[in-house]
Amino acid sequence: MSQDQAVEQLRHPPSPDTQSRHVLRRWWLRARLYADPLPEEARAAVEAGQAPGRPAAAVVREAVVAREARGR
């Protein structure tokens, strides 16, 4: 996050309701993960960077390229 973005975020903080939803969502996701952890093989693959699927960075890059191709 750039300094300008951080300053802007401090100028317009999210509402308490929005903050509560974010906190509860993070808590719920963490609780689900702890209740049903990844199998050892999947955890090891994720840590080694060999898990199936695509990295989020690649998906974002493709979305940016597609948006630019559409002229936005």
Whole-number Å distance between alpha carbons of 26 and 6: 21
Per-residue pLDDT at 3: 81
Three-state SS at 52: coil
pTM confidence score: 0.33
Per-residue pLDDT at 70: 87
**What does the pLDDT profile of the chain (72 residues) look like in tens digits?**
788 887 777 777 667 677 788 888 888 877 777 777 777 887 787 777 777 777 778 888 888 898 899 886
- The residue segments making up the domain with residue 35 are 3-69
How many structural domains is the chain composed of?
1
Per-residue pLDDT at 14: 66
